Amino acid sequence: MADERSTTTRDEVADWWATSISRIEPGVIELRGHPVQELIGSAGFGSVIWLMLRGDLPSPEQTALMEAALVASVDHGPHAPSIAVARMTATCGVGLNSAVANGINLLGDVHGGAGQQCVELLTEICAEVPAGDATDEQVLGVAAEVVARWQQRSRYLPGFGHRFHPVDPRRDPLLGLVDVAVDNEVVGGQYLRAARAVEIVLNRGRSTPIPMNVDAATAVIYAELGFPAPLARGLFVLARAVGVLTHAWEETQQGRRIKGPIPPSIRPTFLDPGDEAAGAHAPTES
C-alpha cells in the first residue's frame, strides 16, 4: 500500500500556502494584484495597510479616518505596560526585535486590545436596533439591554474608562472626525450612535464619568470602516508598535543595563504570610 507521503502531488504542496494576498514569482511582487513597483511612491503606508487587509485600495477619506485612529494609538508613555516592558526588554541585551515583540505581546483585553470586544459590543447593539430610522430612545433602549447582558459577565465594558484620564484626550477629536465622515457619507454612523448610547447608559446616575477611551473611539472608526472585530485589535497593535519601537530605541541609546520596573532603591512591599494585615496590601482586580 502506497505511503501517504508518496501520493502528495506537486499541486497539493503548492496549495499548502495558497494565498490571495501576494503573488511572488521571479521578478514579480504583486500585493493584492498590484505590482509593488506601482505602489512604491504612489500609495501611502496607510493605504497599503488597507489594501493588504481588505484587498482593495481605500478612498482618500477612508484612509484619513483609518490613519487618524492609527495616529491616536501610537504611544501612551512608559506608564503603559506595553511601553514599559519594551523599554525594560531593551536593557537586557536581547535586541530591538525582542523588545518590540514583548511590548506588543502585552496588548490584550484590558490594555490596548479592548477595541476588538468593543466592536463586538457595538455590532450586537446595531444588530438589535429596529430596522429603519430608529429613534435615539430606541437605540438607548437597546444599548441598555445589551450593556446589562455584557455586565452580567464583567462590570467592565470594553473601551470605556481610563486609569489616567478623566476624559481620554483622544476621544473627542476621533469622534469629531467620524461625525464629519458621517456628514460626508463616507461612513454610515450606526456604530458611532451605538457607542454614544453605551456611554450615556454607562454614566447614568454616576458622579464620576466613565467615558469612551481610545479603544472605543478607534473601535468606532474601524467598525464604521467595515473592519471585522479582531482587526480592531490588530490595527491597534500595528499602531502601538510605533511607540514600542521608539521607546525601546530611546532606552537602548540611554545605555542602561537590566532596568527593572522600579528603581532598586525602592523595595517592593514584602507580604509576611504570618501577618494578618498582609491581605490589606494584596492587589484587588486590575
* Residues of this chain that bind ligand COA (CB under 6 A): 110, 114, 155-163, 202, 210, 213-215
Q: 195: closest CA among 158, 166, 230, 228?
A: 158
The residue among 160 and 191 lying less far from ligand COA, judged by its C-beta, is 160
The residue among 156 and 249 lying less far from ligand COA, judged by its C-beta, is 156
> Which residues lie below 8 Å from residue 243, measured CB to CB, with a gap of 6+?
74, 75, 76, 80, 82, 83
Identity of the amino acid at 216: A
- Smallest gap from Cβ 153 to ligand COA, in A, equals 12
Phi and psi at 176, nearest 5°, equal -60, -40
The residue among 87 and 162 lying less far from ligand COA, judged by its C-beta, is 162
Q: 199: closest CA among 271, 136, 282?
A: 136
Look-up of cell digits 444588530: 127
Q: 194: closest CA among 186, 185, 205, 182?
A: 182
- Smallest gap from Cβ 164 to ligand COA, in A, equals 8
How many angstroms from the chain centroid is the CA of residue 7?
44
The residue among 186 and 192 lying less far from ligand COA, judged by its C-beta, is 192
Q: 76: closest CA among 63, 85, 65?
A: 85
- Smallest gap from Cβ 206 to ligand COA, in A, equals 7
The residue among 12 and 285 lying less far from ligand COA, judged by its C-beta, is 285
- Smallest gap from Cβ 155 to ligand COA, in A, equals 5
Identity of the amino acid at 124: E
Phi and psi at 103, nearest 5°, equal -60, -50
Identity of the amino acid at 237: V
The residue among 10 and 155 lying less far from ligand COA, judged by its C-beta, is 155
Q: Which residue is nearest to ligand COA (CB)?
A: 161
- Smallest gap from Cβ 215 to ligand COA, in A, equals 5
On whether the CB atoms of residues 271 and 278 are closer than 8 A, the answer is yes
- Smallest gap from Cβ 160 to ligand COA, in A, equals 4
- Smallest gap from Cβ 75 to ligand COA, in A, equals 13
The residue among 67 and 215 lying less far from ligand COA, judged by its C-beta, is 215
